[in-house]
Amino acid sequence: MRKIILAMLCACLGGGAWGYEIQAQRLFSAGDGAPVLRIISTGDLELFAPLIIAFQAQNPNISIDYTVASSGALYAAIAEEGATFDVALSSAMDLQTKLANDGFALTQISTNTAALPDWARWADRIFAFTQEPAVVLISRAGIGDLPVPQTRQDLIALLRDNPELFMGRVGTYDLRLSGLGYLFATQDARQSDAYWRLAEVMGSLSPRLYCCSSDMINDIASGELLVAYNVIGSYADARQEPSDSVIYLIDYTHVMLRTALIPASAPNPDLGGLFVDFLIGPQGRAEIRSQTGLPPIDGAALAEFSHFRPIPMGAGLLVYLDQLKHRAFLDEWIAAMVQPEN
Amino acid sequence: MKAPRPSQSLRRRLLIQLLGVAAVLSALIYFGVRAIAEQAAEATQDNILGASATTIAEELGAQDGEIVVDIPYAAFSMLGAINAERVFYRIETDAETLTGYDDLPLPAIAPSLLAPVYYTINYRGVGLRVVALQRLVTVQDRPVVVTIIVGQTRNGHAAITSRVANLAASLGIGFFILAGLLNWVATERALGPVRRVALAVGRRGPADLSPLRQPMPRELAPLSTALNDFMARLRAALTRTETFIAEAAHHVRTPLATVRSQAEIALRLAETEDSRRALRAVIRAVEESGRSAGQLLDHAMVTFRSEHLEPAEVDLSEMLSHALRALTPSADIKDVTLQVSPLDTPAKVLGDQLLIESAIRNMLDNAIKYTPADSTVTISLGQVGGSHVLEICDQGRGLAGADLAALSIRFERGNNVADVVGSGLGLTIIQEVATSHGGSFTLAQMTEGVCAKLSLPCYVPA
Amino acid sequence: MRFLLVEDSKTLAQSVADRLAMDGHAIDLAASLAEAEDCLAVASYDLILLDIMLPDGDGRDFLTRQRAALRETPVIVMTARSAVSDRVHMLDNGADDYITKPFDFAELEARCRAVLRRRGGSATNIRTFADIEFDMLGATLTVNGQAQQLRNREFRLFEILIASPDRVFSKAHLADRLFSFTEDASDNAIEVYVGRLRKKLEGSRVIIETLRGVGYRLTAQ
């Protein structure tokens, strides 16, 4: 298992190096001598900064150190390095579940955690604070009059029927780099056999593979990419991309739950607990919506759309992290997506 | 007489012992239910664990000379479906761990290809329930034994256990309370006969010394026998006392009779007025002694019997007839006429025959004594309201204003009867008899003499 | 009358016997039940005076045996006991009456007379004097064929007088014998009773003479 993660890390870093790579960091200081709440997160600093500030407004005597890393790096930091963070926020539900399962997370029990619906938490260790759907981003301008796909079948048909248009201009996560991408792909494979057909079709179109949603959004915006698959829809909304470019496929749309946990190696687990309670509490939810634009946990909103399918939390998420399974899946994905032409 | 302080109450002992038994049984129920339920819960959880391992086992295969396993999603998602359980697993052959947590401990006893092994361990600081099963995979025509180990935390088990414990505790307590109530009822019923015997003995009249004939449990028979023996001895003692009183009477009165006879003889032969006067005084003194002795003994008897009243049906008119027959000669001597209204209807009261007859005799005797010679004593027996009233009126000197209560005090005599022989005991006796029978006795001054009225409640047989 | 006195106290027995003898009765003494049986075997009595507590047995058992043997001699039981039950039982056992010690002899005589009257009298109890008949048991005085009932004191007075005709009895003597020792005997009282007797004797030759300062005597004209 570790080998896989390390491999992912190495790939991300493009070389062999111990330790995890920090993508960004900022200290929100509350003055000298104030206790420091250390957060490691996969979320963009610009996206989450307003939320941090809102928290600090509530707790002016706490300094916050916010570090951004990839989901793989975050996992390695906690599981292997024993890095001293008080809160770990990640969109990779499976990696978070593994951290919690393997004993790297502390339990947190409070009125706020009890108020969370059952599908938004697991084992009193992982707490979801956003529900973010995986969408298809389309350049409307790019596809012109072609029918906007509503289902994956539509998408497959669209791509297969217009190979010259879409050649080299379709994109999705590189599963070797993105933990979230792997999660989305494995869930897709579970959900429907259309996924592998889609993968094959995409694979034949020399797809671009990305580490992150934001890059895909950028490329769609610039027109380099015409179709991006499994983008985090809320990022696109947050960046105020034109709404007609965001497609929620109606056969099913997976909803990723961004989760928080308190690492076992936390130096200030009380501060971590305070932040977690804030995130999942009613005030936190309001701040998340207003400050970040991300959808907070809301069962009613999910129920509104029958095709929205939240990824289920639980030990099942560990299955695809099994090394044999992971290797087998990746092999198959590479065979489909990374075709000899590349 | 203070009752001796009772040693431990029988009821309390019974209750405590029965409650003790109930407590033991309650505890047994508690532990029994817990054990059975926990076993059942564990069996169920084990079954799920076994199913998970089995689904994994189904996905074992060989590919390119290597063993491959495609762990199905369901294998882990089925675990912790109810409670979020953490999952650990390991798939290994003799040579190496194929996948999973390679430090997950193997069972002490290896499973066979036929049966899985379940065991409990501590791993990474938590308790796990683990199943281990074996499968055979053919790799390049060689059989390889693959061991699949799946474990999960025991939150679900703990939750069931605590729920069962509460249930078992409620059952145990409920049983205990119910048993307590039933014990109380059973104790009351068991002690019922004892209580009934006590009541039966308590309800007896003070003079009831007849043997106990109450049906009672065998265990109380020795007590009953002892009680009857005791009562027999008491009866004997009482009889002896009565006999003693009678004996005393005899020994006092016989010598007095001798003195009187001699004095009368001497009086007959006396020649001087002085001697005659002296002898008359002697005779009078003897008569007074005899009367006193008689009344003292009578009073003793009345007191004795009043305390041990043996009520029976007594006919007042019959008693009156006896008394009249006995006292007519004394009346005749003084030429006193006894005028009686007819005594043909029975007048029944509930009381002691000897005491009532004694009271009537005393009343009659008193009237004859205090009425002058050649006078009439009127006697009537009638019914007034719920009582029979015996009225005896004489033509004697009356009470001179003294009231009944004062006269009744022993040895008190009215000051106008100084020369009539007799102590005041007679009235005391009648008063005591009246009181002990729930009746009343009055002396009233009439124009011509005194009327004595004894009234006793009528007896109406139920 | 002929009495059998069954009493174990010798002094009492002798005193009673002497006292009764003064009134002209004949007494045989028995100090035990066995002696009583012996006496009854050889003589007949008008009345038995029976004490209850005797050295060789209970007088009541003796009584029961007597009655069982159909011996009908009247019995008056002398008892020192107070218990009414004893008195009652005695009557049940066959006694004719009872009297408690110490007893008034006048009462004893009255009871004897009553008992004998109930049993039926014998001829020896009628005393004739001049032209009158005196039934001692029935207490009647028959003058010229007319029977008159005498009241108690009248009877006793007449009995004394007729027992010794022509003998003078002093008032004091008569008073002693007539009135109980507890009564105030006024001088006049004798006079009253003598007067009553005289009334009842009217029409016969028998008179009661008053001897001034001396006394009274019964005589026939």
In a domain, B359, yes or no: yes
Residue A279 to residue A291: CA distance in whole angstroms: 12
How many degrees, rounded to 5, is the angle at CA B409 between CA B433 and CA B304?
A: 40
Q: Is residue B5 part of a domain?
A: no
**The CATH number of domain A134-254+321-337, selected from 3.40.50.300, 3.40.50.720, 3.30.465.10, 3.40.190.10:** 3.40.190.10
B200: left (phi over 0), alpha (psi -120 to 50) or beta: alpha
How confident is the prediction for chain A on average, in pLDDT?
A: 88
**pLDDT value at residue B409:** 47
Q: H or E segment at B44?
A: helix B10-58
Q: Which residue has the higher pLDDT, B256 or A183?
A: A183
At residue C135, does pLDDT exceed 70?
Answer: yes
When mean pLDDT is compared across A10-24, A121-135, B158-172, the lowest value belongs to A10-24
Please state, in angstroms and rounded to a whole number, the distance separating the CA atoms of residues A125 and B386: 95
Instruction: Identify whether the C-beta of residue B194 lies closer than 8 Å to the C-beta of residue B10.
Output: yes
Residue B177 inside a domain? The answer is: no
Helix (H, G, I), strand (E, B) or coil at C170: coil
> Closest partner residue to A315 among B69, B87, B126, by Cβ?
B87
Amino acid found at A144: G
Q: Which of B373, B368, B393 is nearest to B454 (CA)?
A: B393
B296-316 b/e with 16+ CB inside 10 Å = b?
bbbbbbbeebbeebeeeebbb
Chain C environment of B286 (Cβ under 8 Å):
102
Closest CA to C159 of C19, C15, C24: C24
DSSP A267: S
* CA dihedral of A147, A148, A153, A158, whole degrees rounded to 10: 50
Is the model more confident about A308 or about B293? A308
Which residues in chain B have their CB less than 8 angstroms from residue C53's CB? 250
CB B209 within 8 A of CB B234: yes
* A102 — pLDDT class (breaks 50, 70, 90): very high
- Residue B301 has its nearest CB partner, among C16, C82, C114, at C82
Q: Test C182 with B421 for CB contact under 8 angstroms.
A: yes
Between chains, do B245 and C82 touch, taking CB under 8 Å as contact? yes
Report how far apart, in Å, the C-alpha atoms of C141 and of each of A284, B97, C146, C152, C161 are. 145, 156, 8, 12, 13
The structure tokens listed for A312 are 């289920």
User: Using an 8 Å Cβ cutoff, are B304 and B436 in contact?
Assistant: no
Mean pLDDT of A254-279: 94
* Distance (Å, whole) CA A126 – CA A299: 17
Is the model more confident about A228 or about C105?
A228
Domain made up of A2-131+257-310: CATH architecture: 3-Layer(aba) Sandwich (3.40)
Cα C121 to Cα C115: distance, rounded to the nearest angstrom: 10
Distance between CA atoms of residues B196 and B188, nearest Å = 12
Residue owning tokens 């003084």: B334
The predicted structure's pLDDT at residue B162:
87
Least confident of A148-162, A225-239, B247-261, C32-46: B247-261
pLDDT tier at B308, thresholds 50, 70, 90: low
* B302 vs A148 pLDDT, higher one: A148
Does B89 lie in the same domain as B20?
A: yes
- Residue B115's CATH number: 3.30.450
Same domain, B327 and B237: no
Same domain, B77 and B105: yes
Distance CA C215, CA C218 (A): 11
B68/A328 CB distance under 8 A: yes
Which of A97, A113, A319 is the best residue to mutate to test the B interface, defined by the most B CB atoms within 10 Å of its own CB?
A319
Whether there are 3 or more C-beta pairs closer than 8 Å between A and C is: no
C-alpha span between C37 and C30 (Å, rounded): 9
C157 has pLDDT over 90: no
Is residue B222 located within the same domain as residue B240?
yes
pLDDT for B389: 92
B456 in the same domain as B326 = yes
CB atoms under 10 Å from CB of B449, counted, come to 21
- Asked whether residue B325 falls in the same domain as residue B272, the answer is no
Top pLDDT among C55 and B203 is at C55
* pLDDT single digits (tens) A270-308: 999 999 999 999 999 999 988 888 899 988 888 888 888
pLDDT of the residue at A97:
95
Kindly state whether residue B345 falls inside one of the protein's structural domains: yes
How far is the C-alpha of B370 from the C-alpha of B421, rounded, in Å?
9
Statement to judge: residues B432 and B361 lie in one domain = yes
Residues A131, A300 contacting (CB under 8 angstroms): no
Based on the domain organization, do B297 and B326 belong to the same domain? Answer: no
- B28 and B112: one domain? yes
Residues B461 and B314: their CA atoms lie apart, in Å, by 12
In the predicted structure, residue A177 carries a pLDDT above the cut 80: yes
Reading the block at residue B120, the tokens are 């409990």
Q: From B273, B308, B343, give the residue that closes a domain.
A: B308
Q: Do A315 and B77 touch (CB under 8 A)?
A: yes
Domain containing B269 equals 210-308
Residue with tokens 């056992």: C93
Per-residue pLDDT tens for C177-213?
A: 777 666 666 667 888 888 888 888 888 888 888 888 8
C49 pLDDT above the threshold of 80: yes
What is the predicted pLDDT for the residue at B425?
Answer: 63
Q: For residues B286 and B270, state if they share a domain.
A: yes
Inter-chain contact A122–B74, Cβ cutoff 8 Å? no
The tens digit of pLDDT for each residue in A48-64 reads 999 999 999 988 999 99
* Domain C-terminal end among B286, B308, B330: B308
pLDDT, residue C161, reads 87
> Is there a domain that residue B277 lies in?
yes
At C122, the pLDDT band (50, 70, 90 cuts) reads low
Nearest-angstrom CA–CA distance, A48 and A33: 24
Whether B73 and chain A come into contact, CB under 8 Å, resolves to yes
Global pTM value: 0.57
CB-based contact C101 B290, cutoff 8 Å: yes
The CATH number of the domain holding residue B415 is 3.30.565.10
| B176 is a domain residue | no
Give the separation between CA B215 and CA B199, rounded to whole angstroms: 13
Q: Tokens 């707790």 map to which residue?
A: A59
Statement: residue A8 has pLDDT above 60: no
Overall average pLDDT of the B148-174 stretch: 88
Kindly state whether residues B394 and B428 are assigned to the same domain.
yes
- Residue to test with chain B: of C101, C152, C154, C186, most B Cβ within 10 A: C101
Mark yes or no for CB contact C176/B322 under 8 Å: no
Residue A63 — φ and ψ, nearest 5°?
-85, 145
Range in A197-201, B311-315, B341-345, C42-46 the model is least confident about: B341-345
First to last CA, chain B: 35
Q: Report how many domains make up chain B.
A: 3
d(CA A212, CA A73): 14
Nearest to A99 by CA among A132, A126, A128: A126
Which of B51, B332, B10, B373 is CA-nearest to residue B188?
Answer: B10
Per the listing, tokens 């790019």 go with: A142
pLDDT of residue C123: 47
Last residue of a domain, one of B105, B133, B162: B162
pLDDT value, residue A158: 92
Domain limits, CATH 3.40.190.10, in chain A: 2-131+257-310, 134-254+321-337
Same domain, B27 and B53: yes
